[in-house]
Amino acid sequence: MSTPSATPSFTILGTGSHAPSQVVTNDDLATSIETSDEWIHSRTGIRARHLSGPEDTTTRLAVNAARAALLDANLAANQIDLLIVATCTPDLPMPSTASLVQNELGLSPRAACFDLNAACTGFVYALDTAWAMLSSGRYHHALVIGAEKMSTVLDWTDRTTCVLFGDGAGAIILGPAPADHPASGILAARLGTIPSTSDLLRIPGGGSSPLTPEARRYITMKGREVFKFAVRGMEEVARELLAEQGLATENIALVVPHQANLRIIHAISEYLEVPRERFFINVERYGNTSAASIPIALDEARRAGRVQRGDLVLLVAFGAGLTYGGALVRW
């Protein structure tokens, strides 16, 4: 948990997102594996996902999203002094994706740049980390990116996982709340990890442990168990955040949840008693883009006029670990 003091207030000054141009529908997938649009859509809400070609590296996706966010915030790249890239699909083990992004964007050599891996909760972890670093007074403007090339860690013959994920990137700029709207800002954030759940969702090979026929660099998942923990974790963190701020679910104008599965989102809506209309949902067009899913959704929500000045926005996510986290933002 982290709740730096409310003053000075740091807020989201701009958002951006980018997805590779290739769109692959459920029907497209059904030409190569035994599945159907009916099966995938009825269990997940997904109709299509964007998939990268070789030229769309995680870095390239991140850079495009970052450029859009900088433009939106009306900031120059050299005003950024902190860059965090949340990803579990970096281009390389080292250097970090953030270093590669820094180079392409032309950020200041004094900018702190690093990657953060909390899988699909990565963006919320990165947001909270950036907020804490800004609140220390040592950094001024943070670029926080969620970027994933999930297509590289999928076994395209495993229908239980490959139909669920997609590629993309989203970015935000965090900085001091504008003088004419000092009430805007991140109000609270909470992070957590559920013990003894690390076997439920993993990429067993490709780190420092050896690759074997059993431990390949592909996602494995116990879907039903992940589903239950996801709903419970996100509901709990949302309730804790609201209680900490003395707010109620009625105060929430928009929930931007991790986009993994429409049924999970509907279950949270039911348990929190927040109507479905107050959730921003785009999982049908992207699938699960892991750490990129919340910043892509937030960017689309803003550009669609779903977020207005003064609105209370809840971000909530879960992912491998199993990790979970949430943040409350006053727009």
Footprint on this chain of ligand COA (rule: CB under 6 A): 35, 39-40, 43-44, 120, 159-160, 163, 201, 221, 223-224, 226-227, 230, 260-261, 288, 319
Measured from the CB atom, is 30 or 112 closer to ligand COA? Answer: 30
Catalytic residue among 26, 64, 261, 288: 288
User: Is 162 annotated as catalytic?
Assistant: no
| Minimum separation from the CB atom of position 135 to ligand COA (A) | 28
User: Is 64 annotated as catalytic?
Assistant: no
Measured from the CB atom, is 324 or 331 closer to ligand COA? Answer: 324
| Minimum separation from the CB atom of position 260 to ligand COA (A) | 4
Between the CA of residue 154 and those of 89, 149, 160, 165, 290, what are the distances in Å? 11, 10, 10, 8, 13
Catalytic residue among 18, 50, 141, 258: 258
| Minimum separation from the CB atom of position 286 to ligand COA (A) | 13
Catalytic residue among 113, 120, 162, 261: 120
Measured from the CB atom, is 40 or 105 closer to ligand COA? Answer: 40
| Minimum separation from the CB atom of position 43 to ligand COA (A) | 4
| Minimum separation from the CB atom of position 38 to ligand COA (A) | 9
Per residue, what are the HEC states of the chain?
Answer: CECCCCCCCEEEEEEEEECCCEEEEHHHHCCCCCCCHHHHHHHHCCCEEEECCCCCCHHHHHHHHHHHHHHHHCCCHHHCCEEEEECCCCCCCCCCHHHHHHHHHCCCCCCEEEEECCHHHHHHHHHHHHHHHHHCCCCCCEEEEEEEEHHHHCCCCCHHHHCCECEEEEEEEEEECCCCCCCCEEEEEEEEECCCCCCCEECCCCCCCCCCCCCCCCCEECHHHHHHHHHHHHHHHHHHHHHHCCCCHHHCCEEEECCCCHHHHHHHHHHHCCCHHHECCCHHHHCECHHHHHHHHHHHHHHCCCCCCCCEEEEEEEECCCEEEEEEEEC
Give the nearest residue (CB) to ligand COA.
223
User: Is 258 annotated as catalytic?
Assistant: yes
| Minimum separation from the CB atom of position 11 to ligand COA (A) | 27
Measured from the CB atom, is 135 or 290 closer to ligand COA? Answer: 290
Give me the active site residues, please: 120, 258, 288
